Amino acid sequence: MAETTTNKRIIIPVHDGSEFFPDYADYAIIDLDAKSIERIMALSTAVRDLKVYKVAEFNYDCDFMTADWDAEPDNGKVALKEFEGRMECNTLNVTDSDFFWSGLYKHTDVRWETNTVPLAVLDMTDVYDEREACAAESGDNEYNLHGTSGDNNEHEETGP
């Protein structure tokens, strides 16, 4: 079996359409090889040639992760741990200037979508990492991407 090498690593936030869905992913990690990069560029050219908004195709290159606020930061950014849920109907969506992934949480009607990535990122040599930065010892990392606090007592009323 031939070994494939990663030419580009992308770490981008995942957003979903439900504020009540409890088991969500925070980030997607995508490792693109030369063939995947070439495919994205070809799809972008097709979008321009066809004068359409976007082209979408099934693509399962994303590995999903959740923020691990209890772990030490990873190079100044939030540490990640494996997402225990599953996704389905994953699509790579390519426009004339950027690309992103979207799909559904398995066995639900909850849609998810990643941040968009500019095509110019594919020419950059370093990792494209949009993880949240951790503030050293400030306690600023108590909030996750979905806007809820890890402290369940923050809204308790106190006596008069």
| 67 φ/ψ angles, rounded to the nearest 5 degrees | -70, 135
Q: What's residue 136's pLDDT?
A: 54
pLDDT for 33? 95
Q: How far is CA 105 from CA 35, 72, 93, 113, in A?
A: 27, 28, 17, 10
pLDDT computed for residue 56 by the predictor: 98
Write down the residue that tokens 């110019």 correspond to: 120
Query: Contact, 103 vs 88, CB < 8 A?
Result: yes
Altogether, the residues listed in the chain come to a count of 160
Identify the three-state secondary structure at position 63: strand
Collapse the DSSP code of 58 into the 3-class scheme (helix H, G, I; strand E, B; otherwise coil) and give the result.
strand
Q: Please give the pLDDT value at position 19.
A: 74
**Average pLDDT for consecutive 10-residue bins of the chain (160 residues)?**
69 86 87 96 98 97 91 87 90 98 90 96 92 62 46 43
Residues 117/100, Cβ–Cβ less than 8 Å: yes
